[in-house]
Chain A
């Protein structure tokens, strides 16, 4: 039973380059979340999707960041152009369908450690 899959696990790039992070959620989960974790800011929610539709992107730091979910089994987070302050660990998480009577436990992927030089 595969969990959330992320690729690449590590990415080193130079300032100004485009970076694409990928995520495959757990099969059957309707919600997908992108987080960023740094020592200074902790764990931040960037954006989340429900049934492939972006619901809340208020955490996306600026226009250089974009996220897509073209189908239920794949999502990307793109940074263009990248800057050194984007260096962080980016986590993808997924959650099964929620109703007013269920709960919202999220399952995290292994993360992508991004370093922008």
Chain B
């Protein structure tokens, strides 16, 4: 069964600090991995997509990494801001005929001033 596990479940950091969120998956064969940001009371918004051949991709202060061999991804947030407080969701899609992406449960990040 395809699974996506995220850690930690929740995280509290001070404004200006860095943090790293983890995502492990068992989806096979692998197509791509997306990180979404979900603000409270809103729908998820895509931050970045990683395909098999990509190791690192940045989007402003967000940097995603992918190790397709170990089936792990991380999302690093640099110089956190209060607006980074949100849930970060890892979503993995496989190849094949059925398009049902597998969602992780998310990491809830709180940035304190």
Do these two chains really belong together in a complex? no
Q: Contact residues of A with B, CB < 8 Å?
A: none
Q: Contact residues of B with A, CB < 8 Å?
A: none
